[in-house]
Every structure is written in C-alpha cells, then in structure tokens.
Structure 1
Amino acid sequence: MNFVKFSPRLWFLLGFIGCCSLLGAGAYMQFVEELEPCPLCISQRLAILATGIIFLLAALHNKGYKAYAIGAAVSALIGAGISARHVWLQHLPPDQVPECGPGLEYVFQHFPLTETIKLMLSGTGECSQIEGVFLGLSIPGWTFIAFLMLAAFSLLTIWLKAKTDESRG
C-alpha cells in the first residue's frame, strides 16, 4: 500500500480512530479492570481527547491541513509532556514522592479552578503508583509513546501531502 496516495482527510480520520482507540483502552482499564485514574491519567485522557477532536475537525474540513496537523502535533506533545511527568513521578525514590491529595471529586467541588488545574498537571502521590506493566513499561510510559506517535503521524501528513503534490506537479 502506498501511503503517499492517502489524502490528508483520510490520514486525519485514521488519527481520530487512533485517539478513540486510546480513549477506549482507558475506559476499559477504568470500568472493566477497575483501575481508578489519577489526576495525571485524567489529564492525559483530556490531551488524547483534544488531539482526537483536532483530527476529527481536520478530517471533516477540507482546508488548512497544515494548521490542523500542527495543532494536533502540539496537542499530542502537550500530552507527551504530561505522560513524561507521570513516568518521572513513578520513578522517584519513595521519600521524594509527593503526598497524596484529596480525591478529584472533592477538588472539583471545593478548590478554585487554578488549583484544580495545577493539581491535575502536577500530580499527587497516587500518580506514583504503578498499576500495570507491559513489556517493561507502565501505562503512562505507553501513553507517552502513543503521544509521540500521534504527533509524528500528524506532522507526517504535511510531508505526505507535499510528496503527493510533487508527484502530480
């Protein structure tokens, strides 16, 4: 299969499907495997959702593919930064792990929005717990890789479109 012949819209649709798959995996882990997401997990899901929405808009809209590609890449790289922080927290020595905070439901009801966002992006002691490992990487480690792949996938659209235009021109 020649990937160069893919239209940007189809490429973005595939990116959207990838984001939906990641969100589905997160929902499975939460509701079937009963792994309660920590603040950083929820922040990563929001970054996946934002990236997926950008991919969907790009697939539906037939103009400005470069702007959508860059927007999706930025969103994915923000998510990668959150995942990197999560992995870093998981590898801290026990005496350097931050204290566990109140539950997110309590935080949303009683804290100002700026404090809630700070907590969701910085993480708490519960974020340092490793709930599962696959091939030597924790869930946030795999999420980090997924974000990097989504960013690369998005930016690859620009290169593929240029190659397609070159071969036609």
Structure 2
Amino acid sequence: MTNTRPALLTIAFTALALVGAALYLQHVKDMLPCPLCVLQRYAFLGIALFSLVGAFTKKPVIGTTLALLSGLGGLGVVGKHLYVIANPGFSCGIDPLTTTLNKIPSATMLPWLFKADGWCEATTDTVLGLSVPQWSAIWFVALTLALAWLLLRRRAR
C-alpha cells in the first residue's frame, strides 16, 4: 500500500474532527447523546485509531481493514438510528442499551465523551438542514468508501 499514509492520516483526522464536532454539540449546544450516538462515537474513534495504526506500521493493510470494519459497524448503527427516527414508536421508556453503555469502563472513566444521556428519537435539532444522525450517515459512507478504495486499490496492483 504505497503512499497510503496521507490518505489514512486524512481519514483519521476527519474521524477525530467528527467526534470533536459531536462533543461541541453536546457540551456547547446541549444536544445530549443517545446510546446509538455513543456507539457511533466508538466507531469513529475506531476508524481514527486503526487508520493511524495503518499509517504508521509496515503492514498498513491490517489497520486499514480494521478501520473499514469500524466503518461498517458505524454504518449499521447509524442505519438503526435512522430507522428509529423514521419510526418514532419503535422505542419507548428506558433503553437497556443506555444502562449497559453507561456501565462499561470507558463511560465511567470518560463520561464527558461516552455517557449516553439522550433519547434516540429526539433529533429535532438540525445542523445545516440535516439531523446529526443524517450527517453521521454521510460521513460513515464517505470514510468507509475511502477505506474500501484504499484496500481495493492495493489488490488491483
């Protein structure tokens, strides 16, 4: 995978910037993250971490593959999130996922980043006309396609 370092660093930076944007919306604009939002943060952080691993190791295909798997996982989560938004009666009451997520070590050590306090159906606020899950879906598609392209480009050689 020659010359993939700049692409992987760009992907990692983008994923970290998206988590930064989510933290801005949470802490400055008071948009509380729901459990599915928190899972998407984990996926974006996975993309960033594994892209960095791919950028700085001699075998970038391993890091790129793991980043791609994180992206595919994020696509699955955001797909469920968009389904929940489209079907408002789908979830009600306390989500068991919230309790589980808030008890894992990363959430107890870094609650400002990983604690789920919001409702998955409550996405009335928009950013440039789209809800946060819609933006998340766009970015997961873009990053996942970029990672897949890096891997497929290597195979074509």
| TM-score past 0.5 threshold | yes
Q: After superposition, where does 1:6-155 map in structure 2 within 5 Å?
A: 7-63=3-59, 65-93=60-88, 96-101=89-94, 104=98, 108=102, 126-134=119-127, 136-155=129-148
Indicate the RMSD between aligned Cα atoms, in angstroms.
3.0
| Residue 157 of structure 1 pairs with residue 127 of structure 2 | no
Structure-1 separation of matches of 2:99 and 2:8: 34
Contact kept, 8 Å, 2:85 with 2:121, in 1: the verdict is: yes
Counterpart CA distance in 2 for 1:27 and 1:48 is 13
Shift of 1:12: 0.8
On the 8 A contact 2:68/2:144 being kept in 1, the answer is yes
Listed as ranges, the gaps of 5+ residues in structure 2 are 106-115
- Structure 1 vs Structure 2: percent identity of aligned residues? 26
**CA offset at residue 131 of structure 1?**
3.3
The separation in 1 between residues aligned to 2:120 and 2:84, in whole angstroms, is 7
Give 1 or 2 for the bigger CA radius of gyration: 1
Are residues 105 and 162 of structure 1, via their aligned partners in 2, closer, same or farther at CA, if it must alter by over 3 Å? Answer: closer
Letter in 1 for 2:68: A
* C-alpha spacing 1:161/1:31, structure 2 compared with 1 (3 Å): same
Report SS of the residue matched to 1:148.
helix
Q: TM-score, with normalisation over the residues of structure 2? A: 0.78
Q: Is the 8 A contact 2:64 2:147 kept in 1?
A: yes
Alignment-derived partner of residue 3 in structure 1: none
Could you tell me how far apart the structure 2 residues matched to 1:147 and 1:133 are? 18
Query: How far, CA to CA, are the matches of 2:100 and 2:65 in structure 1?
Result: 36
SS at match of 2:120: helix
- The two structures have a TM-score, normalised by structure 1, of 0.73
1:15–1:150 contact (8 Å) kept in structure 2: yes
Number of residue-to-residue matches in the alignment: 145
Give the 3 Å change call, closer, same or farther, for CA 16–106 of structure 1 in structure 2. closer
Q: Any idea what the Cα deviations from partners look like across 1:104-134, whole Å, max 9, x if unmatched?
A: 579745xx99xxxxxxxxx9x9201113224
